[in-house]
Structure 1
Amino acid sequence: MTDLFLKAFIYLVAAVIAVPIAKRLGLGSVLGYLIAGVIIGPLTGLVGSETNTIQHFAEFGVVMMLFLVGLELEPKMLWAMRNRLMGLGGLQVGITTAIVMAIALLFEQPWTIALAIGLIFALSSTAIVLQTFNEKRLTKTEGGRNAFSVLLFQDIAVIPMLAFIPLLALPELVEKAKHAAASASEHHEQMSLVAGLPGWAVGLVILGSIAGVVVGGHYLSRPLLRFVASSGLREIFTATALMLVIGIAALMSLIGLSPALGTFLAGVVLANSEFRHELESNIEPFKGLLLGLFFITVGAGINFGILFEDLFVIIGLTIGLMALKAIVLLLLTLIFKIKGSARWLFALSLAQAGEFGFVLLSFSMQNNVLPAETAQLLSLVVAISMFLTPGLFILYDNVILPRYEKVSNDREADEIDEQGTVIIAGVGRFGQVVNRLLTGNGVKTVVLDHEATQVENLRKINIKSYFGDATRPDLLHTAGIEESALLVVAMDNEETTTELVEYVKHTYPHVKVLARAFDRGHAYKLRHAGADFVIKETYHSALEMGAEALRTLGSHPFLVEQQKAMFNQIEKQSSEKLYQSWLGGEESQTYDNHFQHLFIELEETIREAMDTDRMDKHALTEREWTPPPKGYLDEFGAPPSDDQPNEPLNDASDEQEKPA
């Protein structure tokens, strides 16, 4: 028991030290886990013979990961991606297997061994790729979606591979390992539901088990989860979630199928369940720990003795395999019209061998398909290719992606052939709304954006926009800044936004500047630069969401408007104090203490204001949300026009327009 505790402590210490350092250096957590494994395994010898046993246990992290992936996929979504699933995935596995097999035949390997190697090397690492996609937020990108389709097909393809590989057994290996094979066969019979059954019966058992998972997941899991949830004990719900995943994995193993595929199927079935998010939150911590442990065992399992004996052969095979798979994937991007940086993300992310390669190698040895020496050498190729994969993501992030962004953004600026009352710099999700509101009211706008793809997307929906950098004086001149009444700054770079505001207010002081801020500090910078109106991009939406929450909870709408107006007023007053503190250039620690003290004071003020009965003291600002009375404009005239001067703002970041 003491030895077990010490080994567990070593694994945990290695992860705790290596992973944060790797993340801070921009290497990603996967490479951190792999490096930790190499350090405690081959380099220092702190762990040893137990690594393979732990690796089999840690592979359950892959099973859990595919269960969580399945929870994110509704059956309709899976059906919608069938073309990419079968087309991209099928061609990738088929072409890669054929080419690897042909190369192995050139090296005078028997065709059975060559085919087995081709099947093993056709697979990629679901664990590394999906983990890295999640960390780098690449899952929703075009390259990420296509890579996921291929990984999903590969995981499904493991099933027929497991069924087919025993047919490739070499007679000489069977004879050599006759006694060992007999004992292994006896053990397998004890742990299998299909051993000794005729082929048709095996098929029926497999179909029945899959049907049981689907039907049980749809009809039986919900009552079970409701019953468990009614107990109110979170640990029991966690135990239930683990029970479902482990039970399905065990069932799939007993019938000779991939546990990962079974849990993935169960996840898809439960994707529409009301307990989906609860299942995710309970399984996620176990998945993360086991995946990390799996990556550590991959690093710890690298046998430096065998590696140094055949160093050039193993390195050559690894680089050759990764280059071959990348070339095949790049060819598929041409067929399926995957363009730009997405094609490189797709090709580089899947260029390695995968964790299921270890499973197939072990299975091939057990069934006398591969000699032990060959299997050991190939396992090193699989491990090293996985070890090198985070480096390919770093290559993509730091070399390939910037080049594509530079190509798309370094094109010549469009020739601006019109001028407008308002110039809008930046038409992302924020600037688009401003532009639509203005043009909908007949205001002539000139829209500029430095993202070429954004401009092209807007043109597709008949929103006229121009590609160009709004900070360029010549481009502003062409857009008619001298004659414009207003400049709306909605760009996504804090420094560039501030510089643009400062330049325009200094050079064209007559132009009113409305600017979007990212946060309070940026709002103060913009206000100091001279912006006439500044708004934090999340302030009013968050305030409106809070008001809607109060209405939903039963507060009267008029009372909610009162409370919202009071909150806004108190917030403006406190913001003015902070702005003056910011202008004074106080030390950061003093500023933080001031902010904390002011925030506590602000919360107390808000509570007192909310508790005050003000139903008989309605202010004008609390009625501005109601429609104006009939004939209002005829009696009092139209609201002031845009060319009339506005009142100076106390806190431009949080100010609302004054009522007419």
Structure 2
Amino acid sequence: MFANLLIILASSLVVIAIFRRVQLPPVLGYLCVGLFVGPTALDWVNESEELPDLAEMGVVFLLFSLGLEFSLSKMMALRKVVFGLGSLQVICSAVVLAGLLALLGMPTNAALLLGGGLALSSTAIVSKELTSLGEIFSSHGQNAIGVLLFQDVVAVLLLTLVPVFAGQSGQAWYLALPLTLGKTVILFVGLLMASRWLLPRLFHEVANSHSAELFVLLALVIVLLTAWLTHLLGLSPALGAFLAGMLLGESHYRHQIEADIRPFRDILLGLFFVSIGMLIDLQLFASHGLEILALTLALLVIKGAVVAALVRVRGSDSETAWRSGLALAQGGEFCFALMAQMQHNKLLPEALGDLLLAATFCSMLVTPLLLRAAPSIAARLHRKPNQEVQLEEIGAQSAALSGHVLICGYGRVGQSIGRFLRQEQLAFIALDDDPVRVQEAAAGEHNVHYGDSRRGELLAAIGLDRARLLVIAVDKTEVALNVLKAARQLNRDVPILVRTRDDSQREELRAAGANAVVPELLESSLMLASHALVMLGLPQDQVQKRVDEVRKTRYRLLHGFYHGAQTSLIDSEGQPKVLLHAVSLGADAYACGRPLGELALEALGVELQSVQRQGNDLKLDASTCLHAGDAVVLSGPLEAIEACESLLLGGR
């Protein structure tokens, strides 16, 4: 067991590092690790009874984390999706797939059972990718999660019905169904009572102890306890973990709980995907490659089309329908367990089962890529009729406007800008790609529209050629850069103001055509410092002069910060943070007696903030000579700071 874990973790370390370098999803890396270290390829990992249990825990932790994002009120709001769209998707997909399996020679009962299994999608992959893409609360994300919740219940029922169809159980299916639903209701009621009266008191006591270890232990105990109780009831442990997370989602501690279990979740979920990859016979791709490709395409097309049609019939637009279909088109992890049980009970021929396992694996393998390409795929599939209508409507509303302001991204920052513009009676139009936010804002404001600001035709429709100012207030710098480039292709002269979290990509944005880049964190720090100086009695004009000087020098004074024990060195976009670090020069330091011009510290990627000698700041120029006891304060990414420190102290 320990050797297996060592091989899997070491292989995953290498493969995931490579996949991140080429910007591929880690899920694909874990699946490939399982495929190649398994018994049909390199055969580095032997069969182990403990590995599947650890892998299942990954799904349990993932579903618990997902449940924390869905409070009970949100779950009730999704009931039409869960029981309406979810039931229709499973029934329609199962009937179509069962019919095709029957044509391949399978008995009717086995075809229906396996068709139901193939109708299920991958909860682990879809929920993880939607979360990482920030689409979990979009229209298609809500559709996908709602359907997946219903599928989890169906998966339990299907696994229960395998011995019934095999003739090895004395319980008929019409008795197994209400029994499973009854157990689910009992579990939900029990967890609801615990979340109302017991768990808040426990978390309050643990929080008062100020012990991080106790908080982590309590979170782990809750996850594992709910999974164990669900297992005792004969239900899916992942279902119980989700219900527990959902009920805890309304507590004040949900963010801390999610942060505590994230490391366990990610590692165990990686083991789950590795175990999925190990089930596949790699040699089968060489001997039956065309059959596997045909089955994979058939599964993706049938399930995707069924979901898209159902979502469209329910009144959603075509883009949401196709993106929902793409999210749910793959096979699921529960299907592997179902096919394994069916083969064990002689309900599924071994040759066909191996091909279906490989096809299901391939459909899961391409899902992260499908989700990332979903916007462009959906646009091609529905030929943009709704987008054209949307462009016409937006264009008609903005046709009479000239000299107005365009706001791309209507989050908190965009809304604040809009309020100031409204007070000054300046016309503006806002775009945002969050359907819930647009729906909320559109109820009181007629000038807020749904759309992707990166689309040049949408920027043209809201009158970019007639605009007085474009404000890009999106939260992600990469998205802001794409919006900026699209805007500059349409209008080379309009002033563009870009809001960013920090100034790590300031020069890139300026080079792409931004007239002004406002780093949010640095500006808030600057404002707070200026208020502090005014409250200390400094003259207003002197404080303003300082503020203007900092802005003129591109916030150099504010670059970097001293990191702490809990500080992450990577920002939300995966870029290294700019840190602040002081290097104290000893008597034998290489830099002693050398001028700053000779050392050329900036060439290593750092900024020299100050040189302090006996508590006083020295004037910084090329001739300033360093002495023993000086403190050289640097700002920059960790790697550059380490290289600079090595030069100052050792000359390397």
Per the normalisation by structure 2, the TM-score is: 0.69
Matched, 1:351 2:332: no
Matched, 1:82 2:69: no
Match of 1:158 in 2: 155
Larger gyration radius, structure 1 or structure 2: 1
Shift of residue 122, structure 1, vs aligned partner: 1.1
Match of 2:296 in 1: 318
Please, which of 54, 59, 68 is the counterpart of residue 57 of structure 1?
54
Structure 1, 43-52 or 123-132: larger mean CA deviation: 43-52
Shift of residue 145, structure 1, vs aligned partner: 1.4
Match of 1:9 in 2: 6
Shift of residue 290, structure 1, vs aligned partner: 0.9
Match of 1:125 in 2: 122
Distance in 2 between the 1:121 and 1:245 partners? 28
Please, which of 191, 216, 222 is the counterpart of residue 244 of structure 1?
222
Distance in 2 between the 1:490 and 1:164 partners? 58
Paired residue type of 1:160: L
**Equivalent residues in 2 for 1:199-218, closer than 5 Å:** 210-218=188-196
Distance in 2 between the 1:257 and 1:450 partners? 41
Could you tell me whether the CA contact under 8 Å between 2:421 and 2:428 is conserved in 1?
A: no
Please, which of 255, 270, 273 is the counterpart of residue 251 of structure 2?
273
Match of 2:367 in 1: 389
Residue by residue over 1:613-647, the C-alpha shift from the partner in whole angstroms, topping out at 9 and shown as x without a partner, is xxxxxxxxxxxxxxxxxxxxxxxxxxxxxxxxxxx
Match of 2:265 in 1: 287
Matched, 1:590 2:587: no
**Equivalent residues in 2 for 1:392-541, closer than 5 Å:** 392-396=370-374, 399-400=377-378, 408=387, 414=395, 422-426=403-407, 428-429=409-410, 433-434=416-417, 436-442=419-425, 445=427, 463=446, 479=466, 487-491=468-472, 492=480, 493-494=483-484, 503=493, 515-516=497-498, 518=500, 536=519, 540-541=523-524
Could you tell me whether the CA contact under 8 Å between 1:299 and 1:387 is conserved in 2?
A: no
Could you tell me whether the CA contact under 8 Å between 1:55 and 1:298 is conserved in 2?
A: no
Match of 2:88 in 1: 91
Paired residue type of 1:337: G
Match of 2:546 in 1: 570
Match of 1:330 in 2: 308
Shift of residue 123, structure 1, vs aligned partner: 0.6
Match of 1:142 in 2: 139
Judging changes above 3 Å, is the alpha-carbon distance between structure 1 residues 390 and 257 closer, same or farther for their aligned structure 2 residues?
A: same
Distance in 2 between the 1:209 and 1:471 partners? 51
Match of 1:28 in 2: 25
Paired residue type of 1:597: Q
Distance in 2 between the 1:66 and 1:532 partners? 45
Paired residue type of 1:96: S
Say what the alpha-carbon RMSD is for the aligned residues.
4.9
Paired residue type of 2:609: H
Q: RCO greater where, 1 or 2, for CA within 8 Å and sep 6 or more?
A: 1
Q: Which runs of 5+ in 1 are unaligned?
A: 175-180, 186-196, 482-486, 505-512, 551-556, 582-586, 606-660
Residue by residue over 1:62-94, the C-alpha shift from the partner in whole angstroms, topping out at 9 and shown as x without a partner, is 111111111221111111111111111110001
Shift of residue 155, structure 1, vs aligned partner: 0.9
* 1:59 counterpart SS class: helix
Could you tell me whether the CA contact under 8 Å between 1:42 and 1:304 is conserved in 2?
A: no
Shift of residue 367, structure 1, vs aligned partner: 5.4
Distance in 2 between the 1:563 and 1:600 partners? 27
Judging changes above 3 Å, is the alpha-carbon distance between structure 1 residues 527 and 145 closer, same or farther for their aligned structure 2 residues?
A: closer
* 2:609 counterpart SS class: helix
Shift of residue 536, structure 1, vs aligned partner: 4.8
Distance in 2 between the 1:403 and 1:376 partners? 32
Structure 1, 571-580 or 592-601: larger mean CA deviation: 592-601
Could you tell me whether the CA contact under 8 Å between 1:47 and 1:300 is conserved in 2?
A: no
Could you tell me whether the CA contact under 8 Å between 1:424 and 1:435 is conserved in 2?
A: no
Per the normalisation by structure 1, the TM-score is: 0.68
Match of 2:561 in 1: none
Distance in 2 between the 1:248 and 1:562 partners? 59
Match of 1:189 in 2: none
Residue by residue over 1:131-168, the C-alpha shift from the partner in whole angstroms, topping out at 9 and shown as x without a partner, is 11122222122211111111111112223323333321
Match of 2:109 in 1: 112
Paired residue type of 2:14: I
Judging changes above 3 Å, is the alpha-carbon distance between structure 1 residues 536 and 105 closer, same or farther for their aligned structure 2 residues?
A: closer
- Percent identical pairs in the alignment equals 27
* 1:62 counterpart SS class: helix
* 2:137 counterpart SS class: coil
Judging changes above 3 Å, is the alpha-carbon distance between structure 1 residues 62 and 540 closer, same or farther for their aligned structure 2 residues?
A: same
Paired residue type of 2:192: V
Shift of residue 253, structure 1, vs aligned partner: 1.7
* 1:124 counterpart SS class: coil
Could you tell me whether the CA contact under 8 Å between 1:51 and 1:297 is conserved in 2?
A: no
Match of 1:194 in 2: none
Distance in 1 between the 2:381 and 2:600 partners? 38
Could you tell me whether the CA contact under 8 Å between 1:146 and 1:346 is conserved in 2?
A: yes
Residue by residue over 1:345-374, the C-alpha shift from the partner in whole angstroms, topping out at 9 and shown as x without a partner, is 211121111011122233445556445555
Residue by residue over 1:84-139, the C-alpha shift from the partner in whole angstroms, topping out at 9 and shown as x without a partner, is 11111110001111112222222332122111111211110011111111222221
Could you tell me whether the CA contact under 8 Å between 1:123 and 1:354 is conserved in 2?
A: yes
Residue by residue over 1:372-405, the C-alpha shift from the partner in whole angstroms, topping out at 9 and shown as x without a partner, is 5554443333323222323423542665569999
Distance in 1 between the 2:512 and 2:45 partners? 63
Could you tell me whether the CA contact under 8 Å between 1:112 and 1:369 is conserved in 2?
A: no
* 2:405 counterpart SS class: strand
Judging changes above 3 Å, is the alpha-carbon distance between structure 1 residues 357 and 588 closer, same or farther for their aligned structure 2 residues?
A: farther
Matched, 1:339 2:317: yes
Judging changes above 3 Å, is the alpha-carbon distance between structure 1 residues 571 and 229 closer, same or farther for their aligned structure 2 residues?
A: same
Shift of residue 534, structure 1, vs aligned partner: 7.4
* 1:490 counterpart SS class: strand
Distance in 2 between the 1:351 and 1:530 partners? 40
Shift of residue 245, structure 1, vs aligned partner: 1.8
Paired residue type of 2:310: L
Shift of residue 58, structure 1, vs aligned partner: 0.5
Distance in 2 between the 1:455 and 1:588 partners? 51
* 1:352 counterpart SS class: coil
Residue-pair matches, total: 547
Shift of residue 325, structure 1, vs aligned partner: 0.7
Distance in 2 between the 1:200 and 1:399 partners? 40
Match of 1:101 in 2: 98
Match of 1:298 in 2: 276
Distance in 1 between the 2:518 and 2:276 partners? 51
Shift of residue 341, structure 1, vs aligned partner: 3.3
Paired residue type of 1:214: L
Q: Which runs of 5+ in 2 are unaligned?
A: 473-479, 558-598, 618-652
Distance in 2 between the 1:27 and 1:532 partners? 33
